[in-house]
Structure 1
Amino acid sequence: MREVMEMVNVPDFSKEPIEVDDIDLEETEFILTNGERLTEERAAELAEETLAEVRARREARTKHLVPGGKSLTGGSTHSPVLNVRVPAELKSALDEQAQAQSMGTSKLVRAILEDWAQAQQRAQADR
């Protein structure tokens, strides 16, 4: 259970004591909302299903961090994010150009910025 709590970022209540009693599901009848009786076996299945779902969500969030994937920094390091506000007309133009080139707007803007940075480096080298 602790693994599930850690994976879903449950707040840390360690400053407040919490009492948790184990329930012997063979002796205590516990009915789920669908009317099914909870047994040790069913509790284990539900825990495994929950862990599988949490792992799938985590993988979906971090799949771009697989080496060779979308991380621009490399390895399993997140690439820095740059937030920029632009006029609506510029955003539309960027979106249209990106679509025309079959790429995402972020990739197009990244290419434009890389070209600009290289041009700046060349200009500095020529001085």
Structure 2
Amino acid sequence: MQARSAAQLEAVRANAALEDASGFVRGESGRDWTAEAVPAPIVAVVLRCALRLYSNPDFLASDTETAGPFSRSRTLNKDAQSGYLTDEEILLCRRYGQRRTGLWTLGTTRGEDYEYDPEQWVMDQYGSEPFPVGDP
């Protein structure tokens, strides 16, 4: 078996982060875009999420680096600690998400329990024909 270089391993990790981020976006938006049709804001969401996954694969809350006598500590914000989409990114995905379109029906009947009462008729102020009203 051939050993992989560090660059190859990093490329595998980066691709995994992109695939995970793409899956999160597809899940929240309900859409599966083709590469040519992805809106620019959705591309930005995928890249930001993938960067968080790549930069912090263990979802750490803080990070400390030491080199000789020098050290650096940082505390990551809530979004950087998460491996998922931020609230704003979720809203953006849903905005670009699947729209409910197509043919649908709207029921217009009163139901089986309606009894017609010919004694209850109303005329409107516009002079139309009288129409029946009453409690169903």
Of structures 1 and 2, the one with the larger relative CO (CA 8 A, separation 6+) is 2
Question: TM-score by structure 1 length?
Answer: 0.25
Higher fraction of helix: 1
The answer to which structure has the higher strand fraction is 2
Of structures 1 and 2, the larger Rg is shown by 2
